[in-house]
Amino acid sequence: MDRALVIGASGGIGSALASELAARGADVTGLSRSGDGLDVTDPASVDRVLGALEGPFDTILVATGILAPEGDMPEKSLDAIDAKDMARTLAVNAIGPALVLRHAPRLLPRERRSVVGVLTARVGSIGDNRMGGWYSYRASKAAANQIVHGAAIEIGRKRTHAVVVALHPGTVETPFTAEYPGHRKVAPDQAAQNLLNVLERLKPENSGGFYDYAGEAIAW
């Protein structure tokens, strides 16, 4: 039986991913702040919780993130940038996945295929940015993409069967996106199915890439 690890398993997408993995026969370990005291912005917390795990895991998914600090919204203009809010967004969306990925090499198998998927967002694409705004969120997701790309290179040196990618799930119907009623949204369970179907099709030569819910590559 495959083993899967879901970071952020109490969130809308994370819980759906954990459920879908279990439905596909995986032995799922789900970790979250509410359930396990995992604060991805705190190195000591990440080391404590992930350091207690024993691998290998065939699938590791990082489904943590915020649009903006609680009570705030993504910036629509440059004059709305707040240093503390930007630092918090970067801490959760970029530093958090980086701290989790520090543990990935130890938790992945060496001699068989494995996948690591980090949920980022299409708006983190510099090449796809035609509207501006959302400075902190865009920057944090672009940083996360760079971290994933670098991690894929390093992990691939010793685990040649590993696939490490950044994933855009689309706009998912969760509390995370409740303030944006005009967006076309997909249910969390459908988003989870889409993402896992993409991961099943990817090969080691795709490692380090940035893909959407349909498996299409996204410009950096």
Whether 156 maps to a domain, the answer reads yes
Whether 185 maps to a domain, the answer reads yes
Whether 220 maps to a domain, the answer reads no
pLDDT digits (tens, 9 = 90+) for 130-182: 999 999 999 999 999 999 999 999 999 999 999 999 999 998 886 655 565 55
Task: Give the number of other CB atoms < 10 A from CB of residue 165.
Answer: 23
Instruction: Record the tokens describing residue 122, joined without a space.
Output: 């299409």
Residue with tokens 């998914």: 61
What pTM was estimated for this model as a whole? 0.94
Average pLDDT, the chain: 95
Question: What is the count of structural domains for the chain?
Answer: 1
Whether 199 maps to a domain, the answer reads yes
Residue with tokens 């198998």: 109
Whether 154 maps to a domain, the answer reads yes
Instruction: Record the tokens describing residue 85, joined without a space.
Output: 């809010």
Contact 2, 25 (CB under 8 A): yes
pLDDT of residue 14 exceeding 80, the answer is yes
Instruction: Record the tokens describing residue 63, joined without a space.
Output: 């489904």
pLDDT digits (tens, 9 = 90+) for 69-82: 998 999 999 999 99
Whether 219 maps to a domain, the answer reads no
Instruction: Check which CATH number belongs to the domain holding 146 and give it.
Output: 3.40.50.720
Range of the domain at 136: 3-212
